[in-house]
Structure 1
Amino acid sequence: MKRDVRFISFIVVAVVCAALLNACVANQNTNTPNQSEGNTGTNKGTNGANGTEKEEPIVLTIVNAAGGTPNFPTGDPFWEDNPVAKALEEKLNIKLKWEVFSGVGKDKLNVVLASGEYPDIIMLSDPTKIIADQIAISLNELIDQYGPDLKKKFGSALNMLKQSNGNIYHLTNSYLPEGATPPGFGYSLQVRTDIFEALGSPKLETSDDVYNYLKSVKEKYPITSDGQTMYPMSGFNRNWGSPYFGMIAMAGSPADSKLYIREDDSVKYWPKAPWAEEVIQFYNKLYREGLIDPEAFTQDYAAWQKSKLYAARIAAHIGGWNQTFDVLKTYTDAKLPNAEKMYFQNFVFKFPSGDKPAIFSASKKGTGALVITDKAKNPEEAMKLLNYLTTEEGNFLAMNGPEGIQWEKLDGKPALKKSYLDRWLAGEAQVNIEKETGMNHYSRLVGSDLGQTSWGTYWILKDDPIATNNTRMQQKDQALSPYWYDATTIGNLMAGADTDTVAKQQAVDKRLYENAFSVILAKSDTEFETEFAEFLKELDAVGAVAVEEYMTKMHKQYKQQLSGE
C-alpha cells in the first residue's frame, strides 16, 4: 500500500527511532490520538513473496441500516471473504468489518448510536438526525485530498449534498454520474408482437397512431383463441400505479412526479398542464369506445395478471416496461399457438400538445446516504475506499465481481464467460452468483449503475442486452433511452414544509388519484368537460396553489444550489 506524503515525511524524520523500535506507528487520525489495534494500518504481518514484511490491512467497521442488502446474514463469511472484498484488500489494503441490520434497521441503529459505540461508516436512508447530532463528520477536506475520482463522478451534484454551512456530511448511491445518460428504462406502451406484426407493424409515434391501432385490434381480434374477450388495451388499479404515471409521462410529466414544470421553472400539478385535458380525454375516448378493459381502473394488480395478462387477453398496455416482459414464459409453458411471438414490444408515443415524453427520471443527487462517523480512526482510508469505488475499475468490480470469475476481457471489452451467461439466461437465482463473485456486495456504498462504461457496456454485465445477446432488451433500450428526465431539482420538493402545507399536499395527492376516475369514466363529451372542470376546482379548493408555490420555491432553490450559487 502506498503511504501518503505525511506518513513518509514522518518516517524520514524519525528513521533512527523507527529502527530502534522496529515499528512504524503513524497516527492518520486528525480527531483521536489513539488507535485501536484493529484499525491501525501499520501493524506488520507475515512476510510477502519478496521477503519483505506485509502490512496488516486497515480494518474499517461498517453497518448497513438502509436495507436492500445482499441475501447473506451477518456472520456469514461472505461478508468479509467474498472475491470483491479480497480484491479491495489486495488493491487498497483495506478490509471492511460488516454488521448488517435485519428488520427495522432505523430502530436498531438508534440503539447503537445511543450507546456511543458505533462504527466508522454507516449506510442509512435518511442522514438528517445523524448529521444534526454531529455523528457524521464533514467530508469536504477528505474529498478534496483523497476523493478526486469521486469529486469528478458526482460533479455538480456535490453542491446538492451541502448543508447550510457549506459542509458535505453524506454521500449517496444510484446517482446519475456527471455527463452520463441512463439506458432505456421507465414507462412505455407495450404491444404484443404477434398481433402487431399481423396488423402490418404500423408506426406508433402519436396518440392518434395508438388510437387507430387499438381500433384495428378490436376489429380483427375481438376474442381470443379460446373464446374469451380480447382487450385492445388493459390496466390495473394500484394507486393508479403505472397506467396513471405512464399516461402522463408520455405527455412530459417527469416520471412518477405528478408534476408539470413550466418554462419559467414554476411547478404545477399535471392537471394544470396545457396538455392535461387532451391526455385524460385520450383515456376517456378509449373507455367510451370499448378500446380499453372496463376494469382497467378498478381491478388490482394480481387480478389483472391472473385473469387478463396471463390469460393472453391483452393486446397492449401502458405501464412499466417490465410488467409484461416476463409473461412470455407463461405463454410458452402453456404451449399457446404462436407463443414465441407473443412477447410485448416497447414504444413511446407523443400527444399533439404534449411535451417530450419523460418516462424515466434520474437524479444526479442519487438516493440513500453514507456517512463517515466521528468514531472513524482512519477517515482518510475510508475516503480512499469510497473514491476507488467511484472509479470505472472500482465500480465495475463492485457491480460484477473481479475479472476472471464471471467475466473476462475479449477484444479489450468486458464479456460474460459462457458458463455464467448460460446460467443467467437460464434464470438462476442471483444470490448464487453473488456468493461466487461478490457482485452487488459493495455496489450500494457509493456506486451507480446508470449510464455506460467507457467500453460501451452496461455497468452490470448480466443486464446488458448486447452482452447477453438479448434482442428484446435491445429493442426496449433503443425505444426508451431517449426519453429520460433529469429530476435532480424536483426531488424532495416538500422538504422543510410546515404542517399546514404538508397537509394540503396530502389532500391534493389524494384527489389527484381518486377524482380522476370520474373524468376518465365520463359517458359523454359534456360530462367530461364538467368533470374535468370540477377536478381542477377541487384540487385548488384543498390547497393546490399553496403547495405549488412552495414546490416552486424549492425547485428554484435547488437549481441555484446545483449550480453552486
Structure 2
Amino acid sequence: MGQRRKISLRRIAGMITLVACVAMVGCSNKGENQPTSTNSPPASTSPSEKPSKEPITLKFSSDGPVFVGQFPSGVQTDEIAMEIAKQTGVSLDIDRVNDDKKFNLEMASGELPDIILVTNKDHLNQLIKGNQIIPLDDLLTTNGPDILKELPNRIKISKKFWSADTNKLYALPGLASQFAPQERYESPGYLIRWDYYKELGFPEVNNMDDLLNMLKAMQDKHPTNDQGQKTYGISPYFADFFTYRTFDNAFNRLTANNFISLNPETGEPSGGFFDTDNAFWKGTDFYFKANQLGILDPDSFVHKFENLQEKTKNGLVLFSTHHWLGTNAANELLAAKDPLSGYVGLPYPKGQSMTTDAVSPDGNETRLWVISKNSKHPERAMDLINYILTSEGSRLINDGFEGEQWELDNGKPKVIDADKRNDAVYAEKTGMGKYWNLSGAVAGYNDPKYNVPIAYGQSKEELIKSLSPLNKDYSSHYGVSYPGELVDKRVKSGEINFIFINSAMSYGLDMNTPDDIKRLDAKIADYLARMQTKLILAKSQDEYKSIQKTVLDELKAMEGQKSVDYWMNNYKNAAKIWTEVKS
C-alpha cells in the first residue's frame, strides 16, 4: 500500500477527508472499465510489439511521498521498469522525495522535472496559474490514443475539477480503484487477539460498552505480555484525527472538517462540534469509559506513532483499528510461535457500518500526472503516461508478466506462487509491488480484458488459497470460506451496513478557505486537542459532563458557530456537485 501521512489533530482544520457513497448500487459512477465483449477466448496479455522509438530518459518526481518501500532514486533497472522502457522508449530517472520541500524550491526556481505526480490540488493550481505545466489536449490526440479510448470520464472530470477553472486538460489522474471482495475487511475494523477471544468463550459484543467490557476481561486474563510488560486493552493515538473517525464510520456517517458528519450516500452534512452526538463527543465518552475501566494506556496522549506501532507489535495493546498500527507486524511474530494466535477483525455489532479503503473509479485526485513546461520531449512524456495509466501498463505494474507472475486458467488470470512476492530480493529484481502508487488502476478496478480485479490476487479463489491458519480458524468458527465472506453475508442480510468511500465526493469542496476561517479553525483544533485529555481523564461521569459544558461554552465564545456555518455551506455545495458527478 501507499505510504500513510500522519496528520496531527492540531491540523484538523486543514484536513479534508475522503467521503463516499453508501453502496456501489447507489453510486452510478462505475468507472470506465467495463468488460470487452468477445466471442473468442482472451488472447495472451503479453505486451504487443510497438513501433520502436529512440530511447530517452525523462526526469520524474512528485510534490510529496508517493513512493512505496525503499524506493531508490535514479534510473530504474528492475524488470518492470525495463519493460515500460521497452514499450514506450522512455526510462524514468526518479527523484524520490519524502515531503514537498524540494518541489517548492523547484517550483520557485522554475527548475521542474519533465513529469510530476501531483498529490496536492493547491500545488496543481499554482503550477497552472504560474504557467509551469502544459495543457495536454493536443498531446492526447497525437500520443494518447489509449487514454482517449479507455478513460474518457477521467478527461472530463479533470477539465472540470483539476484545471484551475480553465476547462483545459492539465492533469491526468491515476490510482483508480473500485470495490472488490476482500479477504478480511479489517482495516478499519475492531482488531482483537483471536486466541484471547477464544479463551473468553467468544462473548457477544452488541455495542461499544460490550466491546470495552470484553477488552477488560481480556486484559485481566493477560495483564502482561510474554516479556512481563504491562498490557492495555486500548491505546489510541490522540495526536491524530483518525482516532475519532471510527465514531462516525461505524455509525453510518463519514467525518469531515470540525466534526461535521456526512451522509455517505448523498454527502449532505450534519452535526459539527456543537452536536454532542458527533464523533468527537462519542469518542471522548468511549475513551473516558475505557479509562474508568483501567484499560486505557496512559501514554496514549504522548506517545509517538512509531511507539504505538512497536507496542502493538510486541503484544502490549489488545485492540486496534488499523493493520498499519502494528497488528500485521504482530501477527508475523505470533504466527511463528502459534499459527492460531494473532489479531483478527471482531464482527461488528448489528446496525453498525463498516468501511473499506477509498475507491476512485475515475482516478484519484492525489495522483495527478502533469508535464512540465521545461520538458524538451513532452510528446515522449505523454507516450509514457498513455501506457502507465491504461490497462496494459496497469496490468504490468500490478501483476507482472504472464507466464512468470501469472497465467491463464480457463480464460481467467491466476497468480503463480504468490508467496514469492513477499521476498524482498525477488521484489527488488522484478519490481513487483514497487510502482503501485504510480499505476493507472489498482486493487478492485476491473481489468476490461478479463473482467476480474486488476490486482489478480484479489479474486475470491485467490483469497481462499492464501488464507493463513489463523484466518482459516476464524472462518471455520463462523462457517464461511474466508473472513470477508462473513461481512458480505451480514451486509446482504441487513445486519450491518457497508460504506463505500468514493473520493469523488470531495471534488466540489471549495479549497480556498478564507484566512479568518483558517485562523479560527486552527484555534479550535488547538483547544480541542488540549481539552480531550481533560474529558477522557475525568474522574466521574458528572465531571465529564461539567467539562463538556465548559468546552461547548468556550467554543461558542470563540465564535465556533462561524466555522461550523462555513463548512456546512461548503459541504452542502459539494453534495450538489457530487449528485452531478454520479449522474
Q: TM-score, normalised by structure 2?
A: 0.70
Aligned to 1:254: 254
Aligned residues: 492
| Structure 1 CA distance for aligned equivalents of residues 275 and 223 of structure 2 | 37
Over 3 Å counting, the alpha-carbon distance change for 1:245 and 1:462 in structure 2 is same
Over 3 Å counting, the alpha-carbon distance change for 1:475 and 1:230 in structure 2 is same
Over 3 Å counting, the alpha-carbon distance change for 1:106 and 1:309 in structure 2 is closer
| Structure 2 CA distance for aligned equivalents of residues 88 and 284 of structure 1 | 54
| Structure 2 CA distance for aligned equivalents of residues 141 and 557 of structure 1 | 33
Q: Does 1:83 align with 2:93?
A: no
Q: Does 1:449 align with 2:442?
A: yes
Q: Do the aligned residues in 2 keep the contact of 1:193 with 1:342 (CA within 8 Å)?
A: yes
Give 1:329's match in structure 2, choosing from 332, 341, 356: 332
Query: What is the aligned-residue RMSD (CA, Å)?
Result: 4.2
The alpha carbon displacement at 1:309 in A equals 3.5
Over 3 Å counting, the alpha-carbon distance change for 1:109 and 1:215 in structure 2 is closer
Q: Do the aligned residues in 1 keep the contact of 2:71 with 2:96 (CA within 8 Å)?
A: no
| Structure 2 CA distance for aligned equivalents of residues 113 and 451 of structure 1 | 35
Aligned to 2:288: 284
Over 3 Å counting, the alpha-carbon distance change for 1:528 and 1:137 in structure 2 is same
The alpha carbon displacement at 1:324 in A equals 1.4
| Structure 1 CA distance for aligned equivalents of residues 324 and 74 of structure 2 | 38
SS of residue matched to 2:505: coil
Q: Do the aligned residues in 2 keep the contact of 1:173 with 1:447 (CA within 8 Å)?
A: yes
| Structure 2 CA distance for aligned equivalents of residues 310 and 62 of structure 1 | 39
Q: Do the aligned residues in 2 keep the contact of 1:65 with 1:122 (CA within 8 Å)?
A: yes
Q: Does 1:513 align with 2:529?
A: yes
Q: Do the aligned residues in 1 keep the contact of 2:536 with 2:544 (CA within 8 Å)?
A: yes
Over 3 Å counting, the alpha-carbon distance change for 1:389 and 1:223 in structure 2 is closer
Residue-by-residue CA offset, 1:514-545 (whole Å, 9 max, x unaligned): 21222222222211221222233333443432
| Structure 1 CA distance for aligned equivalents of residues 486 and 244 of structure 2 | 23
Over 3 Å counting, the alpha-carbon distance change for 1:553 and 1:169 in structure 2 is farther
Give 1:502's match in structure 2, choosing from 515, 518, 526: 518
Over 3 Å counting, the alpha-carbon distance change for 1:223 and 1:369 in structure 2 is closer
Amino acid aligned to 1:475: P
Give 1:99's match in structure 2, choosing from 93, 103, 117: 93
| Structure 1 CA distance for aligned equivalents of residues 345 and 430 of structure 2 | 33
Over 3 Å counting, the alpha-carbon distance change for 1:181 and 1:366 in structure 2 is farther
Q: How does 1:61-76 map to 2 (within 5 A)?
A: 61-66=58-63, 67-69=65-67, 71=70, 73-76=72-75
Give 1:475's match in structure 2, choosing from 447, 465, 483: 483
Amino acid aligned to 1:344: Y
Residue-by-residue CA offset, 1:376-415 (whole Å, 9 max, x unaligned): 6765664454344333332121223332333333333333
Aligned to 2:235: 235
Aligned to 2:408: 409
Moved more, 127-136 or 102-111: 102-111
Aligned to 2:167: 166
Aligned to 1:137: 134
SS of residue matched to 1:366: coil
Over 3 Å counting, the alpha-carbon distance change for 1:278 and 1:460 in structure 2 is same
Q: Do the aligned residues in 2 keep the contact of 1:398 with 1:443 (CA within 8 Å)?
A: yes
Q: Do the aligned residues in 2 keep the contact of 1:251 with 1:358 (CA within 8 Å)?
A: no
| Structure 1 CA distance for aligned equivalents of residues 366 and 550 of structure 2 | 37
Give 1:433's match in structure 2, choosing from 400, 422, 426: 426
Aligned to 2:32: none
Greater relative contact order (CA < 8 Å, ≥ 6 in sequence): 2
In structure 1, stretches of 5+ residues that fail to align are 1-52
Residue-by-residue CA offset, 1:180-229 (whole Å, 9 max, x unaligned): 45854632211111121222324445324424433543565566678765
Amino acid aligned to 2:290: L
Q: How does 1:294-443 map to 2 (within 5 A)?
A: 294-304=298-308, 309-310=312-313, 312-320=315-323, 323-331=326-334, 335=337, 339-347=338-346, 349=348, 356-358=353-355, 360-363=357-360, 365-374=364-373, 382-383=381-382, 385-418=384-417, 421-424=418-421, 427-429=422-424, 432-440=425-433, 443=436
The alpha carbon displacement at 1:234 in A equals 1.6
Over 3 Å counting, the alpha-carbon distance change for 1:416 and 1:446 in structure 2 is closer
The alpha carbon displacement at 1:370 in A equals 1.6
| Structure 1 CA distance for aligned equivalents of residues 306 and 374 of structure 2 | 48
Residue-by-residue CA offset, 1:448-484 (whole Å, 9 max, x unaligned): 3242444576544568762861346753686599344
Aligned to 1:122: 116
| Structure 2 CA distance for aligned equivalents of residues 435 and 244 of structure 1 | 38
Amino acid aligned to 1:195: Y
Over 3 Å counting, the alpha-carbon distance change for 1:96 and 1:547 in structure 2 is farther
Q: Do the aligned residues in 2 keep the contact of 1:170 with 1:370 (CA within 8 Å)?
A: yes
SS of residue matched to 2:189: strand
Q: Do the aligned residues in 2 keep the contact of 1:407 with 1:415 (CA within 8 Å)?
A: yes
Over 3 Å counting, the alpha-carbon distance change for 1:95 and 1:119 in structure 2 is farther
Q: Do the aligned residues in 2 keep the contact of 1:246 with 1:359 (CA within 8 Å)?
A: no
SS of residue matched to 2:191: strand
Q: Give the share of equivalent positions with the same residue, in percent.
A: 20
| Structure 2 CA distance for aligned equivalents of residues 269 and 167 of structure 1 | 36
Q: Do the aligned residues in 1 keep the contact of 2:261 with 2:278 (CA within 8 Å)?
A: no
| Structure with larger Rg | 1
Aligned to 1:192: 193
Over 3 Å counting, the alpha-carbon distance change for 1:270 and 1:121 in structure 2 is same
Give 2:564's match in structure 1, choosing from 544, 548, 558: 548
Q: Do the aligned residues in 1 keep the contact of 2:223 with 2:231 (CA within 8 Å)?
A: yes
In structure 2, stretches of 5+ residues that fail to align are 1-49, 472-481, 492-497
Over 3 Å counting, the alpha-carbon distance change for 1:104 and 1:397 in structure 2 is closer
Over 3 Å counting, the alpha-carbon distance change for 1:520 and 1:129 in structure 2 is same
The alpha carbon displacement at 1:311 in A equals 5.0
Over 3 Å counting, the alpha-carbon distance change for 1:242 and 1:326 in structure 2 is farther
Over 3 Å counting, the alpha-carbon distance change for 1:83 and 1:55 in structure 2 is same
SS of residue matched to 2:218: helix
Amino acid aligned to 1:166: N
Q: Do the aligned residues in 2 keep the contact of 1:240 with 1:513 (CA within 8 Å)?
A: no
| Structure 2 CA distance for aligned equivalents of residues 193 and 228 of structure 1 | 20
| Structure 2 CA distance for aligned equivalents of residues 58 and 122 of structure 1 | 20
Moved more, 133-142 or 82-91: 82-91
The alpha carbon displacement at 1:367 in A equals 0.5
